[in-house]
Structure 1
Amino acid sequence: MTGFAAVLARRIGLLIALLAVVFVIVDLLPGNAARAVLGRDASAEQIAAKERELGLDRPLPDRFGEWFGGVLTGDFGTTARGQSVNELLAAKFPQTLLLASIAMLVTVVLALLLGVWWAARPTGFAARALQPGSAFVIAVPEFVVATLLVLVFSLWLDWLPAVTFTDRAGYPAAPDMLILPVLALAIPQAGWNLRVVRGAVADAASAPHVESAVLNGLPERAVLVRHILPFALPTIAMSFATSVGALFGGALVVETIFNYPGMGAMVAGSVSDRDTALVAAVVAVTGATIMVILLAADAIRVRSNRGRA
């Protein structure tokens, strides 16, 4: 088995193990889906009948095996309330993907520009401003950033909306409704990644071939593009790839704060309903997306290492 195939097999195995853990955790929560769906006034006989209908009277490994077998054919099953999980994901996942993708784009642009600036001016204004600033935004959770953004730009300045309204297609009705949720997600990740970019660029800049290029009189921009960034790219790409998972996780919280029409409210409701199939489906879709991004970063690293060899 090649190195890349081994990495792929390991990541798929980790995803399957994570899905199994999700089944166990939801099963250990107090109550179950039958009680959540029927409510407090349901009799013991009604609850027992509903448990049999949902298969909750069967062993957990059997339920997981049946659900996972359906996933392999593209069927995520139905929720405890009888809704198609596939239809729910098709309705909500694109909005979350849109939010996370824009936040990732903002993160990449800010991290590259500020990180390279910091590396090029290690003792100037960039270092004095970005070193404490990036440390601060890294330490602040997304929901705190979101609250501060609402306080400043919605309540004090009245520049941007604090609540998202949707159009007929289920997407935000106006582009400015995306600004605060995107910033709430991107600011902490940009703070982390710009430090990684700064370190990777600084390390690459100290290589002998870079010194030779400078001595040969190449312009600073040409040295950066041709001799520094290609060597710093694997580290930067892996850092950006790991941020994808943080963005998806943060999106579920940020969506709730801004009433954004993504998977946040759906996940909160599924946990409240002890709806294992829906929770696991969200983990499967987001986990598969993150795995693809990580594999792309692995491919960049492998190709870069071969180029150096």
Structure 2
Amino acid sequence: MISFARLLLRRITLLIALLATVFVAVDLLPGSTGRAVLGREATEQQVAAKEHELGLDRPLPVRFLDWASGVLTGDFGQTARGRSINDLLADKFPPTLLLGGLALLLTVVLSLLLGAWWAAGRDGIAGRARVEATGRARLGRGLTSGLEPATTMAAAVPEFVLATLLISVFALATGWLPAVTITGRSGFPVSADMLVLPVLALAIPQIGWNARVVRAALTGAATAPHVENAVLEGLSRPAVLVRHVLPFAAPTIVASFATTVGMVLGGSLVVETIFNYPGLGAVLAGSVADRDTSVVAAVVALSGVVVMLMLAVADGIRARSLRGRG
């Protein structure tokens, strides 16, 4: 319990340091927030008055502490254009959560299936769980040799490159799926097919990476003596995988999926811009253009909290698994 609390405190400290870095980075961007809000026609006096109104003439540490004290009470403040950041996040975060949630769900399901199939192949668990007394014991075999280059390629391709490729093939060349997102009154896409390409652009790289993690975790767990005993007892391949291999591999797999949450959230900000998706991506792009530090920091803080919660879940599963082994 003490180690978990210490780990949580460390992550909170890292998040605070990240937010402080965001304040410094946005402040170093060229341009003026007042000029971005008022336009090029505004005079220097008007720009200076606007920045004084926004409190931008105060020292940066004072502005950060003032913003952080408001966050502790649940108030992210206002944008440079006068809108409540809380309302802005309430409008734009649910569509991003939908997009990221679908991509994460697809990643988890396909990574587990591909990783388990790969691990059960000729060079995976089957190769590690041979029982000499029976001459040969295999948990499964399959044509898995193509997964090595396929998953490597999928994990290596950036989301924006994959999104462009998907648009070229499935929107421009074939016309099967829309390339842009049209938003309804609810703030969500008007049809489900508008989610297909953004979800695939987010999920494919993560499937490539996590399938490799699942395969490595399962093949590593298969070296345990109780797996060979299970094979000797004549248990079926699914039973061995689910009852004897997967529980030992679960901590590594869950930790990888928890890390994937951060990757999906970060990637969604880029993918949303490409597909004109109505989420936090457009908010972040606009706030950077306006040099609106409070909005950028709010998006980072919200994403950081989500990632921290997922990592906490992974830590709990890991601790429970290790306790069960002891």
Which TM class, normalised by the smaller chain length?
Answer: over 0.9
* Correspondence 1:233 to 2:250: yes
* Correspondence 1:298 to 2:276: no
Q: In structure 1, what is the equivalent of residue 176 of structure 2?
A: 159
Q: How does 1:154-233 map to 2 (within 5 A)?
A: 154-233=171-250
Give the C-alpha shift of residue 171 in structure 1.
0.5
C-alpha RMSD of the superposition: 1.1
Give the C-alpha shift of residue 41 in structure 1.
2.1
- The counterpart of 1:276, out of the listed 287, 290, 293, is 293
Please, which moves more after superposition, 88-97 or 33-42?
33-42
Q: In structure 2, what is the equivalent of residue 102 of structure 1?
A: 102
The one-letter amino acid paired with 1:14 is: L
Please, which moves more after superposition, 27-36 or 226-235?
27-36
1:77-124 deviation line (CA, Å, top 9, x unaligned)? 001111110010000000001000000000001100000100101446
- Of Structure 1 and Structure 2, which has the larger fraction of its residues in helix? 1
Q: Do the aligned partners of 1:196 and 1:236 also contact (CA within 8 Å) in 2?
A: yes
Q: In structure 1, what is the equivalent of residue 274 of structure 2?
A: 257
Using the alignment, how far apart are the partners of 1:289 and 1:253 within structure 2?
18
Q: How does 1:5-154 map to 2 (within 5 A)?
A: 5-123=5-123, 126-154=143-171
1:147-205 deviation line (CA, Å, top 9, x unaligned)? 11111111222211111111210101011111110000000000000000000000111
Q: In structure 1, what is the equivalent of residue 135 of structure 2?
A: none
Using the alignment, how far apart are the partners of 1:80 and 1:207 within structure 2?
58
Matched pairs, number: 309
1:109-152 deviation line (CA, Å, top 9, x unaligned)? 11000001001014465432110001111111001111111111
Structure 1 gap ranges (5+)? none
Using the alignment, how far apart are the partners of 2:255 and 2:107 within structure 1?
14
- TM-score, L = length of structure 1: 0.98
Structure 2 gap ranges (5+)? 124-140
What SS does the corresponding residue of 1:128 show, helix, strand or coil?
Answer: coil
Q: In structure 1, what is the equivalent of residue 132 of structure 2?
A: none
Using the alignment, how far apart are the partners of 2:150 and 2:239 within structure 1?
29
Using the alignment, how far apart are the partners of 2:143 and 2:207 within structure 1?
15
